[in-house]
Amino acid sequence: MKQRKGFVLRTVCGENVIVGEGLETINFGKLISLNESAAYLWKRATDMGDFTAQQLADALQEEYEVSPEQALNDVERIISEWQKVGIVE
C-alpha cells in the first residue's frame, strides 16, 4: 500500500496533522490529528513509498518498546483508520 498523493504531515499549533495539498485533495477539507507514534509511522511510510503493515510494525518496534504482536495490532488499526479517511491506498 502507499500514501495517496498530496497528503502531508504538518505541525499546527504543536499538533501533528495530516493535511491535503494540491488539486488531488481539493475536496478533502479535513485535518487528521496524529499522536506521536502515529506521526512517526506516517513519516516512515513516506520514506518507504510502498509499505506493508509488517514493515511499519517493525519500524514501530525499533523506535518504541512494544511487543511484535502489539506493534502489528497498532499498525493495522492506524492503517485501517487511514484507509477509512482515504489517505492511503
pTM assigned to the model: 0.89
Output the tens digit of pLDDT for each of the chain's 89 residues.
999 998 999 998 999 999 888 756 656 667 789 999 999 999 999 999 999 999 999 999 999 999 999 999 999 999 999 999 999 99
Q: How far apart are CA 68 and CA 74, in angstroms?
A: 10
3-state SS of the chain is: CEECCCEEEEEECCEEEEEECCHHHCCCCCEEEECHHHHHHHHHHHHHCECCHHHHHHHHHHHCCCCHHHHHHHHHHHHHHHHHHCCEC
